Structure 1
């Protein structure tokens, strides 16, 4: 993408009024963005197949047979290099975890209070960080309900670099070890036995979902790696 051009952003939302509001908030955060609007699974996957898209904001519940999670599965199975951020009116822990485990790079609750707070969430993901609601990151007793804007930390220095940082980038996109190995032109065992354990040790976690949560907590910026 030319540095003078804005990112190409897919916005999947079945409600036209909500989609229009989201579009305005995204343009406030990134005025040069080219926004591709979709209202259903077919439109979204068509854009993903034909366009070079950097970010995808996906509504979880499309009130149809296919959901935003199905779009995530499409992205993963086709190894599309895009950061997917889920939107949902339901921010229960199970919904957020399902999104992360399906390959989402972030989760923005529609229940967030006020456009300014919502825009902060969009700014976070457009700056290549992972946004998750604070009441998911912290125990309910430690954070007020719907207090999403307070950063836990502001760490611009990842604990890893080089090839390990590339692996972290693809893990945050939900790619399996086999796909990561293919992109990096190494053996799958190298990813599984070396890089993944190294990342788990660096962040003191035991599974992929915990790794992504920890990256969000630390507000670490994960640079984009083009295929």
Structure 2
């Protein structure tokens, strides 16, 4: 798995590279000190996961996420920030992030977050994930390998659409990737939201994070 860390604090991005190396997933990590440098590296070699500092000089935050998504729509984007308000986390998820890591997290929490993300899961601060999770039948993993295991009422195609949502893909890209129409994507979204009892993509991400599902 190729990972790109974009952060303007050299010690922090080097520390993340060392932590990722400890996970043992065969992760190849690149680092960049700005979004502009990160975009250049993505043009040379697309990444599977981008860890993005939200507050940087130049292109940052939502604008940076848009630029990355336009260049590498399949990359999962995870926001890093010293600020950890619920409003900022929601803004990041609204813009297509599939995870949020607070920079002041303890090393153990950082490792948990990186391990979850490297395993294909979603990581959000525990304080935002209060609420009941579905029970898992005896003998099954508490981290389902497929969305349809966590939400068996969804069809395989609806699971594909939900997985695309959790990767932050817009409807047009989902339609192109799955070779279906925009209207069909909207129809699947309507069913998915009803089954998950949510009103938006952001709420769907929160539910899936709470359930511990994996995107890949």
TM range (shorter): 0.7 to 0.9
Give me the TM-score of the superposition, normalised by structure 2: 0.87
Q: 2: CA distance between counterparts of 1:174 and 1:219? A: 17
Aligned to 1:101: 94
Aligned to 1:81: 74
Runs ≥4 residues deviating over 6 A: none
Does the 8 A contact of 2:62 with 2:92 survive in 1? yes
Report the count of equivalent residues.
201
Give me the TM-score of the superposition, normalised by structure 1: 0.83
Superimposed CA distance per residue, residues 152-199 of structure 1 (whole angstroms, 9 cap, x where no aligned partner): x9341231352212211221122221221111111100011x210121
Task: Give the C-alpha shift of residue 49 in structure 1.
Answer: 2.3
Aligned to 1:213: 206
Per the alignment, in what secondary structure is the counterpart of residue 170 of structure 1? Answer: helix
Does the 8 A contact of 1:8 with 1:34 survive in 2? yes
Structure 2 unaligned runs (5+)? 132-140
Q: Is structure 2 residue 184 aligned with structure 1 residue 190? A: yes
Task: Give the C-alpha shift of residue 44 in structure 1.
Answer: 0.9
Query: After the TM superposition, which of the residue ranges 169-178 and 213-222 deviates more from structure 2?
Result: 169-178
Aligned to 2:111: 119
Task: Give the C-alpha shift of residue 216 in structure 1.
Answer: 0.3
Aligned to 2:168: 174
CA gap 1:189/1:78 in 2 versus in 1, 3 angstroms: farther
Q: 2: CA distance between counterparts of 1:59 and 1:30? A: 24
Does the 8 A contact of 1:79 with 1:179 survive in 2? no
CA gap 1:51/1:40 in 2 versus in 1, 3 angstroms: same
Q: Is structure 2 residue 43 aligned with structure 1 residue 49? A: yes
CA gap 1:12/1:30 in 2 versus in 1, 3 angstroms: farther
Q: 1: CA distance between counterparts of 2:172 and 2:22? A: 38
Aligned to 2:84: 91
Task: Give the C-alpha shift of residue 93 in structure 1.
Answer: 0.8
1:165 to 142, 159, 162: 159
Structure 1 unaligned runs (5+)? 1-6, 140-152
